[in-house]
Amino acid sequence: MNDQTKIKVLGGLVALLVILNISMLGYMWFAPNGGRPGGPRDGRGPAGLVIKELKFDDAQQKQFEKLRDEHHGAMMKIGERERHLHDEFFKTLSDPNESSATVDSLITEILNGQKEREQITYHHLALVRQMCNPGQQKTFDNMIAKAMGENRREEGPPPPRD
């Protein structure tokens, strides 16, 4: 192969790579969600799993997404408050004159945040269950029971080996 042929082949390969790169960038820019799978309707993540398993219709999906967004916003607020409380709590370590009452107060506030998380999550799940029809409610109840069973297994000791 002479030099002219090698240059033409390499030039063609470079042109092909440039075209592939441009098309890939175009796909990433213009495809929904950057060309990546994602979002609640694609069956990924907890929200997608709920929508898929309960076979929500379009109206239920919209209602569920609204509830999910409200729940997420409330949890983010609590998380921000807890981060601030934890910062204050650990700052007390560097102050030898800090009273135990202050430390106890911060611990109580952190625990109140945990309680509030549980209450908000329970209320959220109750609203999701309410929006389900009777058949979906049975599936929902099974999903909760299964999730709780899996969580209990993780917390306990490992099963005995045979």
Distance from C-alpha of 28 to C-alpha of 22, rounded to nearest angstrom: 10
Q: Give which of 72, 81, 84, 82 is closest to 120, Cα–Cα.
A: 72
Tell whether the model's pLDDT for residue 76 goes beyond 70. yes
At residue 161, the pLDDT reads 66
The pLDDT tens digits for 112-161 are: 999 999 999 999 999 999 999 999 999 999 998 988 886 555 555 666 76
At residue 41, the pLDDT reads 46
DSSP characters over the chain: --HHHHHHHHHHHHHHHHHHHHHHHHHHHHSGGGGS--SGGGT-HHHHHHHHHHT--HHHHHHHHHHHHHHHHHHHHHHHHHHHHHHHHHHGGG-TT--HHHHHHHHHHHHHHHHHHHHHHHHHHHHHHHTS-HHHHHHHHHHHHHHHHHHHHHHSPPPPP-
> In which band, very low, low, confident or very high, does the pLDDT at 40 lie, cut at 50, 70 and 90?
very low
* Cα separation of the two ends of the chain: 68
Tell whether the model's pLDDT for residue 44 goes beyond 90. no
Entry pTM = 0.63
Average of pLDDT values for 106-116? 92
